[in-house]
Amino acid sequence: MRALLQRVKEAAVDVGEERMGACGPGLLVLVCAMQGDGEAEADKLAAKISKLRIFKDDAGRMNRSITDIGGAALVVSQFTLAADTSRGNRPGFSAAAPPEDGERLYEYFAEALRGLGIPVETGRFGADMQVSLVNDGPVTIWVET
């Protein structure tokens, strides 16, 4: 699985006029299941994200995790993280898991984060979503299992 993490002061995801989820402060997690991924990869990714020390401590150093600060996560599916740009000018997405597997693993991953004590809200899998955020730092981290 792949995830792009953005440390945020706040983030929200809308589908049309409907607010699907929001968080802040914490993480916006854009996540993509890849071909061959399963629950083990989702669990590993959730555990890594829950422990990643990318929030400031009292000295201003990145030394705290999302659980340390009592932060929340907004998890949004994004199959375009599987983009292959090695040939031509149009990215290919064949490395992404099929939609039914992608949706199952996306939901499983969100539940795995919740199981680690992180409040989680989500977007809607496969929908045309509008994501807004106030990036804190900015801090943007790529994580892959």
Give me the active site residues, please.
78-80
Q: 3-state SS of the chain: helix, strand, coil percent to 5?
A: 25, 40, 30
pLDDT in tens, 37-87: 999 999 999 999 999 999 999 999 999 999 999 999 999 999 999 999 999
CATH number of 2-144: 3.50.80.10
Looking at residue 3, its pLDDT comes to 98
This prediction has a pTM of: 0.96
Position 106 confidence tier, pLDDT thresholds 50, 70, 90? very high
CA atoms within 13 A on the CB side of 7: 17
Q: Could you write out the DSSP letters of every residue in 24-64?
A: -SEEEEEEEPBTT--HHHHHHHHHHHHH---EE-TTSSEEE
Q: What is the pLDDT of residue 29?
A: 98
Average of per-residue pLDDT values in the chain: 97
Long-range own/partner contacts, residues 49-56 (CB < 8 A, 24 or more apart): 49/3, 49/5, 49/73, 49/113, 49/143, 50/113, 50/116, 50/117, 50/118, 52/5, 52/141, 52/143, 54/5, 54/7, 54/139, 54/141, 55/7
Domain ranges of the chain: 2-144
Report strand pairing: 26-32 vs 72-77: parallel
